[in-house]
Amino acid sequence: MLNIKPSAAIRKNYNEISMLCKQTKEPVYLTKNGEGDLVVMDLETFARRESMLKLREALLQSEADIQNDRIRTVSDTATAMRRVIAEVSNE
C-alpha cells in the first residue's frame, strides 16, 4: 500500500509520519500541489534497501563474470558469491 501525504503534512505531523515510516517499513510519498515531490523513509529501511541494491549490483557483476568465462566452476561461483555477500554485509 502506498503511503501518500501532502508536503504540508511533514511540517504539521512530523511525528506521525516518522511513526508511519517506522511501523510500516515503507516509504511515505509526499506531494506538492498534487504532484510527487519527495520520498521519506526511516533510516533502518533506507540502510536495508541500500544493502540490497549493493548486493544485487554485485551479484549481477558475478553473473556477468560467469557468462564471460571469468568464473568457470561451481566452486568459483560459490566463492565469488560468498565474497560479495560478505563485502555488502560489512558495509
What's the mean pLDDT in 21-42? 93
Whole-number Å distance between alpha carbons of 18 and 2: 15
Q: What is the pLDDT of residues 36-77, one digit of tens each?
A: 999 999 999 999 899 889 888 888 887 887 788 776 677 877
Whole-number Å distance between alpha carbons of 26 and 10: 16
> Which of 2-6, 27-31, 48-52, 70-74 shows the lowest mean pLDDT across its residues?
70-74
* Confidence (pLDDT) at 21: 93
DSSP string, 11-36: HH-HHHHHHHHHHH-S-EEEEETTEE
For residue 34, give the nearest of 6, 3, 2, 1 by alpha carbon: 6
The pTM of the full predicted model, rounded to 2 decimals, is 0.65
Whether the predicted pLDDT of 91 surpasses 70: no
Average pLDDT, the chain: 85
